[in-house]
Structure 1
Amino acid sequence: MPNEIPSRQELIDRAAELVPLLQKNALWGEENRRLHEENLDALTESGLLNLRVPTRYGGYESDMRTVVDVIAELGRGDGSTAWVMSVFAISTWMAGLFPDEVQDEIFAKPGVRVSGILSPTATAVPAEGGVLLNGKWSFNSGVLHSSWNTNAAVLLTPEGPQPVMVAIPVADLEIVDDWHTAGLRASGSVTTVARDLFVPEARVLPMGPVLQGQHRSQANADSPVFRAPFMATACATISAPAVGLARAAKESFFERLPGRKITYTTYENQAEAPVTHLQVAEAVTRIDEAEFHARRAAGLVDANAAAGKPWTLEERARVRLDLGSVCRRAKEAVDILNDASGGSSVFTTVPIQRIERDVQTLNLHAILHPNTNFELYGRVACGLEPNTLYV
């Protein structure tokens, strides 16, 4: 029987329904440095974990615009939940690039949660029937709540080192509880360690072809969703939490605005002060700009995938540009609204201070950092070669 795929709006509505729950559990998540089980249950029951699951396993294979809009909506409730959801979405999509027999193993149970790491901080050496893996992956967002990890490593071969992605059951990894941070505290982005871990050959995926939009799945070969190159897919996806945080900052500010005065001034009502009008207008403008860049990146991924169009280098770099722009504009909006929120906003029960720390943490991420992304696009626009493989 054909799998019924919800519309984009229906999935956004499902995400919106979760926002009050995510807001309620946000402080608990900060204090416990992990997502509340209620959040995870809600993501499962809403079907949102199916966004990037292949349809033959009951998933939706949602397009990138849907993925971005849904995760941004979750970000209105909690930045850490939105961030982990973006990692789930990317890693689930990555699982769909492995050979079909590996996918059968990963997606054997409905609602499986897959997380992963792009940084190749482990090494693999050939062994009979597979590889032996050693190393660690820090910042492993969502792994505390996952069954599988799709992690990058370097395969050491006689021909030289080769970047690969490995699919690993989380139960095979050692977890180091070291996530003590200022922002995205509930993401539980701990370190994981592999020690002489054997990984079968089928679960070792060369990354060179993947970065160019090629993979080993026969069943997903004709799906537009799985034709997109890795970096464009990943960058468009992880732009969404920043958009959600900027929206959350706006909502948090306006919830507290009625009846607030500006202390040590004659303004008994902050909403009547011209400085407030300027701050609000500037913040809203930046939120709109962040949304534009997130949707432009998602639209390019969807359009090229649907048309089967090869990506130009400029297009690949432009998605990185859009990601950097989303993060910078979102942070600017949050900064403005946080500055306008007064001294009482520093209490942990006031969301704006958490939103500020979360968006700052996003902007420090190596792939999301605006300056890194802007430099990359500028190099390409000026006719130079990229200074990274991750484009």
Structure 2
Amino acid sequence: MNRDPLPPLTAFPPVPFDAPGRTSPVAGAPTLSQLGDAARAMVPYLREQARNTELERRVSQKSTDMFREAGFFKLMQPARFGGYEYGFTAFIEIISELARGCASSAWGCSLGAIHQWAVSTFPEQAQQDVWGENPYAIMCGSYAPAGKAEKVDGGYTVQGEWHWASNVDNSEWALLGVVFPPNEDGTSPGAGFVLVPRKDWRIEDNWHVVGQAGTGSKTVAIDQPVFVPAHRRLTFAEASSNNPPGASVNTNPIYRIPFLSAVPVCLASPMLGNAQGAIEVFEELCGSRVTRGAVAGGGNRLSQFFPVQSRLAEAYASVDAARLLLYRDTTEVEKMAASHTIIDVPTRIRNRRDHAFSTRLCHQAVEGLFSSVGGAGLSLDQPLQRMWRDANMMARHISLNWDAVSSMVGQYHLGLEPKGQY
């Protein structure tokens, strides 16, 4: 008896969360659906160019121009400078879509786009400095306070080296972590960020890595002290305050969200899309590859093996779970900000946990798929091996590393002082 074909399974259904940030408040801005279509249309090109991106060790100027023309760097930029003022939930959707094609390219776009939000939390004059003459300017960043800021009249001088500044080749500015000197009353503002234009730093080309090579995460070097005006300073305390300096001029509530409550999604989103892309590539490989050699099951398609079927199912479940965690958390903080509710420490700790755990789920998904393909998956022209290397690289980022983040979360639940950034 003939059976009707099974209905298609929607791999990743529409987001079931009604987040404020999924709608732009800016008249004439493209809809999220239109932006998503533009990202989807780029996936074949990004996948085709991914090997070259890795070999060049940077995101190409052409890809960067495509991101800019599509409006992706305007996603979270203030309307006053031509931006769309979308929230983090919209951001996740666009960046994860791009990462289906190339995780390194999506990572570069992700950092360029998220730093538009970060600049928006600085004082108004800093925003004018960055975008006043060039509203299309984007920036790289190195968050660790690797340099000291020396107090001088009107601001600070900074000098040093800042590593892992992703997409530095395509950036007009740099957001750099520093330690600030004590205030006049002896209290210390601690660490924070300064904004430095491209003319004041050089690129040290030292990015030679096994995964995510295309991110171009090279070093920003300032060999001689350069002046940074005081208005281009943002302390970590201000960034986490629910009311950073930029909130007085950028009234959209997304600019009040504490820095680490949502910003790490710029790292988790490429991981999410990379895992989705790995599933797609794996399914294509299973449909075409026939096993060879004197082994049990030789001559059968990969798709006929139980472990392959099981690992594919687990990958789907893991990626879907990771996606739901990220959307739930970002939806909640967007709603809290919109209602002028303080985003408290328990919420921040929970979000940091889920940034890392969603990454762990995606990493496990790619590991499981890659373990099933045998020698056919090892060729350098086979996308899955690059996706596997990229996944391992991203999972080791300190902001996403499960060992680092989970210990902080465990400390919090045990009543200890959490040792980490949240």
Contact 1:139–1:190 (CA<8 Å) still a contact in 2?
Answer: yes
Aligned length: 389
1:306-385 equivalences under 5 Å are 306-385=338-417
Shift of 1:34: 0.5
- Report the counterpart of residue 176 of structure 1 in structure 2: 204
TM-score (norm 1): 0.96
Worse-superposed segment, 86-95 or 347-356 = 86-95
Contact 2:246–2:255 (CA<8 Å) still a contact in 1?
Answer: no
Q: What secondary structure, in the 3-state scheme, does the structure 2 residue paired with 1:117 have?
A: strand
Q: Distance in 1 between matches of 2:58 and 2:36?
A: 24
Q: What secondary structure, in the 3-state scheme, does the structure 2 residue paired with 1:299 have?
A: helix
- Report the counterpart of residue 192 of structure 2 in structure 1: 164
Contact 1:3–1:55 (CA<8 Å) still a contact in 2?
Answer: no
- Aligned match of 1:185 in 184, 188, 213? 213
1:184-333 equivalences under 5 Å are 184-194=212-222, 195-217=224-246, 220-263=249-292, 264-267=295-298, 268-333=300-365
Q: What secondary structure, in the 3-state scheme, does the structure 2 residue paired with 1:171 have?
A: helix
Q: Distance in 1 between matches of 2:229 and 2:127?
A: 14
Taking structure 1 as reference, are residues 206 and 259 closer, same or farther at Cα in structure 2, changes over 3 Å only? closer
Taking structure 1 as reference, are residues 161 and 315 closer, same or farther at Cα in structure 2, changes over 3 Å only? closer
Shift of 1:117: 1.7
Deviations 1:309-355 (A, max 9, x none): 11221110011111111110001000011111220211111111110
TM-score (norm 2): 0.89
Matched, 1:25 2:25: no
Shift of 1:265: 2.8
Q: Distance in 2 between matches of 1:181 and 1:218?
A: 39
Contact 2:262–2:351 (CA<8 Å) still a contact in 1?
Answer: no
Worse-superposed segment, 61-70 or 279-288 = 279-288
Query: Where does the alignment leave 5 or more consecutive residues of structure 2 unmatched?
Result: 1-25
Q: Sequence identity, in percent?
A: 28
- Aligned match of 1:100 in 120, 124, 131? 124
- Aligned match of 1:131 in 156, 181, 187? 156
Taking structure 1 as reference, are residues 161 and 205 closer, same or farther at Cα in structure 2, changes over 3 Å only? closer
Shift of 1:90: 2.5
- Report the counterpart of residue 9 of structure 2 in structure 1: none
1:19-98 equivalences under 5 Å are 19-98=43-122
Query: Where does the alignment leave 5 or more consecutive residues of structure 1 unmatched?
Result: none
Q: Distance in 2 between matches of 1:133 and 1:243?
A: 36
- Report the counterpart of residue 34 of structure 2 in structure 1: 10
Amino acid at match of 1:319: N
Q: What secondary structure, in the 3-state scheme, does the structure 2 residue paired with 1:111 have?
A: coil
Q: What secondary structure, in the 3-state scheme, does the structure 2 residue paired with 1:126 have?
A: strand
Amino acid at match of 1:199: V
Shift of 1:233: 2.2
Shift of 1:4: 1.5
Shift of 1:281: 1.1
Amino acid at match of 2:233: V
Contact 1:331–1:360 (CA<8 Å) still a contact in 2?
Answer: yes
Taking structure 1 as reference, are residues 315 and 245 closer, same or farther at Cα in structure 2, changes over 3 Å only? same
Q: Distance in 2 between matches of 1:20 and 1:171?
A: 35
